[in-house]
């Protein structure tokens, strides 16, 4: 069964750091496009980062230069290192596997979410 | 503002049919739809030309015309009350999501 499990959320002060983890089972993260999608309070879904099978990465403008996505193939786990956090980064962060249909991306498996609260 | 536009809220009477819309660039001829209930992760409902994961009830169907995508629920049930999001490929990003539609089943 395909499954992803998020962890690592918490309360952090502005300017602080946090690392999220996403443990996958039933498939290999290194062969898939793995993403972090967040849902902020009163906001819609936003894809903030993706790591491609070849190791290339994508970041939304809102997090570029502050967030880093990576993976540990031996642990079949994806990470999101979040530095210099801002109050507007407060959200539930979901790890999601991206799939493609006719070249268009969509997300077919989601973790349960990790709550990140940035507040003083 | 989002590249994909959704009505913020829609309501439907129990057992009736409702269509949720997602308007975007006419060059995007692919949309996926997700259902999200409070406190839960989003769940893929349909993708592409009315493809459904095996767990999606067949009362859900996806379609599109021009620059608008539709998620139709034929015979809405109480458990269908949720937020619904569409997504497509972003103009400059990996993907883009619509702002979401809150569906109320009366």
Dihedral, A66, A69, A72, A76 alpha carbons, nearest 10: 140
Which of A94, A101, A105 comes nearest B41 by C-beta? A94
The residue with tokens 């536009």 is: B5
Dihedral, A51, A56, A61, A64 alpha carbons, nearest 10: 90
pLDDT of B1 over the 60 cut = no
* Alpha-carbon gap, residue B52 to B82, rounded angstroms: 18
CA B57 to chain centre: 14
Structure tokens belonging to residue A28 = 């290999």
With 0-12 / 13-18 / 19 or more C-beta atoms within 10 angstroms meaning exposed / middle / buried, residue A113 is buried
What are A24-81's pLDDT values in tens digits?
A: 999 999 999 999 999 999 888 999 999 999 999 999 999 999 999 999 999 999 999 9
Q: What is the pLDDT of residue B2?
A: 63
* Alpha-carbon gap, residue B19 to B86, rounded angstroms: 13
Q: Hey, is the C-beta of A23 within 8 angstroms of any chain B C-beta?
A: no
B42 and A107: CB-CB below 8 Å? Answer: yes
Q: What is the mean pLDDT of chain A?
A: 96
For residue B97, list chain A residues with Cβ-Cβ distance below 8 A. 44-47
Mind telling me how many Å the CA of B74 is from chain A's nearest CA?
23
Q: What is the pLDDT of residue B21?
A: 95
């Amino acid at each position: 069964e395909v499954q992803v499990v998020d962890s690592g959320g918490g309360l952090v002060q502005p300017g602080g750091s946090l690392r999220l983890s996403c443990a996958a089972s039933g498939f290999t993260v290194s062969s898939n496009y793995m993403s972090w999608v967040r849902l902020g309070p009163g906001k819609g879904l936003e894809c903030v980062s993706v790591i491609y099978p070849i190791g290339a990465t994508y970041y939304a403008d809102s997090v570029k230069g502050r967030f880093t996505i990576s993976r540990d193939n031996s642990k079949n786990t994806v990470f999101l290192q979040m530095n210099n956090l801002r109050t507007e980064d407060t959200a539930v962060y979901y790890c999601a596997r991206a799939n493609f249909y006719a070249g268009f991306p969509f997300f077919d498996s989601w973790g349960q979410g990790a709550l990140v609260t940035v507040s003083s | 503002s989002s590249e994909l536009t959704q009505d913020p809220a829609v309501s439907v009477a129990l057992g009736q049919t409702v269509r949720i819309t997602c308007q975007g660039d006419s060059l995007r001829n692919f949309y996926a739809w997700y259902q999200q209930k409070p406190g839960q992760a989003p769940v893929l409902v349909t993708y592409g030309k009315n493809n459904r994961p095996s767990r999606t009830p067949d009362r859900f169907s996806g379609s599109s015309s021009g620059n608008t995508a539709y998620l139709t629920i034929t015979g809405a049930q109480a458990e269908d009350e949720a937020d619904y999001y569409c997504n497509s490929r972003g103009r400059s990003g990996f993907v883009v999501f619509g702002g979401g539609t809150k569906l109320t089943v009366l």
